[in-house]
Amino acid sequence: MNDMARQLEEFLKMAKRPLIVVLGPTASGKTGISLKIAHQIGGEIISTDSRQIYKGMDIGTDLLSEEDQEGIAHHMLGITTPDQPLTLAQYRELALSKIEEIYKRGNTPMLVGGTGLYIDSIIKDYDIPRVPPDEKLRKKLQKELEKKGSEHIHKKLEKIDPKAAATIHPNNSRYIIRALEVAMNKSEKPVSHKKNIEFDVFMVGVKWPREELYKRVNERVHRQLKRGLTEEVKHLVEKGYDENLPAMSSLGVKEIIPYVRGEMALDECIEILKRNTRRYAKRQMTWFRRYDNVNWLLPQRK
């Protein structure tokens, strides 16, 4: 951490538009590290977690309470409800606006989270079409997915939009379906963004040995349950949110719903949640390894 802190200090001396990115798989401890960095550099944190944008999912998304934010400004948390999902274009537009506000306050913006597509949309200056969700097409693609599998719909995306397909893992069915929605909606024009939106980017990654990370994942699940994860999911179900909504497909929600509905024992749901979270962490690391400029930290277990 000390070597990285010195590198960061040197970077900030040279950078004109600094943007710090703190990434890592779920349960890796990137939140704690991001707070330390924010205190050190006068940072404000913008969440790049695609589920922390939703209200009412604090436990399932490990959302920091205001008290635990240690006085550091946090943005893009709980900005919409589960039945009002944001498109990637909408997220990007809001996040870029926050970045400019942070610069005006004389502080340093920090992207913190594990959703690689959200990070890429900002640091790679995506040109993202503003296409509203097409529920009819989405349901049709979902049925196709259930019948033929995610690899099939990924190949379908490759034929229509190979560039988009190259950025999405073949197992990430939700992103594949959304990309197909965009690609198949020919009537919409791309969003025109200011050209050459450039940042000086310093990336910090948190990496654990796989078995140690998996232990942390299991511990995280148990903490969530103690904090009231089942009650949180029950509340979401009682509100009548459609289970096909992106928010309701989140880790910690979709796995607990069968228990809330009386369709499965809690112990079984917990084991599925642990397994799915481990798999998600593995997919996150696969995504992050594509970056060639990450300053990786190997923290020691306390």
**Half-sphere exposure of residue 6: CA atoms within 13 angstroms, side-chain side:** 2
| Amino acid identity, position 273 | L
Measure the CA–CA gap between 55 and 234, rounded to whole angstroms: 14
Statement: residue 192 has pLDDT above 60:
no
Does 255 share its domain with 172? no
Q: State the amino acid at position 108 in one-letter form.
A: T
Query: Is there a single domain that holds both residue 122 and residue 29?
Result: yes
Residue 229 is assigned to a structural domain of this protein: yes
- Name the pTM for this structure: 0.80
For residue 189, is it within any domain? no
Residue 108 contacts residue 40 (beta carbons within 8 Å): no
Q: Which residues contact 109 (CB under 8 A, 6 or more apart)?
A: 18, 19, 20, 43, 44, 46, 98, 99, 102, 103
Task: Please tell me what DSSP assigns to residue 272.
Answer: H
Distance CA 215, CA 209 (A): 10
Tokens 């511990």 label which residue?
219
Q: What is the pLDDT of residue 108?
A: 98
SS3 107: coil
* C-alpha–C-alpha distance, residues 35 and 72, integer Å: 7
Backbone torsions φ then ψ of 87, nearest 5 degrees: -80, 165
> Bigger pLDDT: 266 or 3?
266
Mean pLDDT across 179-189: 70
Question: Where does the pLDDT of residue 130 fall: very low under 50, low under 70, confident under 90, or very high at 90 and above?
Answer: low
Q: Is residue 174 part of a domain?
A: yes
Give SS3 for 59: coil
Lowest mean pLDDT among 76-80, 156-160, 253-257: 156-160
pLDDT given at position 191: 42
Q: What is the mean pLDDT of residues 85-106?
A: 94
Domain count, the chain: 3
CB atoms within 10 A of CB 173: 20
Same domain, 230 and 160: no
Q: Cα(262)–Cα(252) distance, rounded to whole angstroms? A: 16
Of 155-164, 246-255, 285-294, the poorest mean pLDDT is in 155-164
Task: Between 1 and 229, name the one with better pLDDT.
Answer: 229
Contact 262, 89 (CB under 8 A): no
Share of the chain above pLDDT 90, in %: 67
CATH code of the domain in which 234 resides: 1.10.287.890
pLDDT at residue 297 tops 50: yes
Which of 41-55, 112-126, 202-216 comes out lowest in average pLDDT? 112-126
Q: How many other C-beta atoms can be found within 10 angstroms of the C-beta atom of residue 74?
A: 21
- Within this chain, do residues 173 and 202 fall inside the same structural domain, yes or no? no
Q: How far is CA 119 from the centre of its chain?
A: 8
Residue 190, in any domain of the structure: no
Across 274-297, average pLDDT:
93
Same domain? 27 vs 119: yes
15 and 115 in a single domain? The answer is: yes
Residues 259 and 245 in one domain: yes
Domain identity same for 203 and 89: yes
Contact present, 10 and 76 (Cβ < 8 Å): no
Per-residue pLDDT for 124 more than 90? no
Domain co-membership, 145 together with 23: no
Same domain for 143 and 119: no
Which residues on neighbouring strands pair with residue 110, listed in sequence order?
20, 45
> Do both 179 and 236 map to the same domain?
no
CATH for 157? 1.10.20.140
pLDDT of residue 189: 45
**Structural domain boundaries, residue 146:** 135-184
Residue 111 falls inside a structural domain: yes
pLDDT digits (tens, 9 = 90+) for 96-113: 999 999 999 999 999 999
The length of the chain is 302
Confidence tier at 169 by pLDDT (50, 70, 90): low
pLDDT of residue 190: 43
Domain check: are 88 and 203 in the same one? yes
- For residues 123 and 118, give the distance between their C-alpha atoms in angstroms, rounded to a whole number: 9
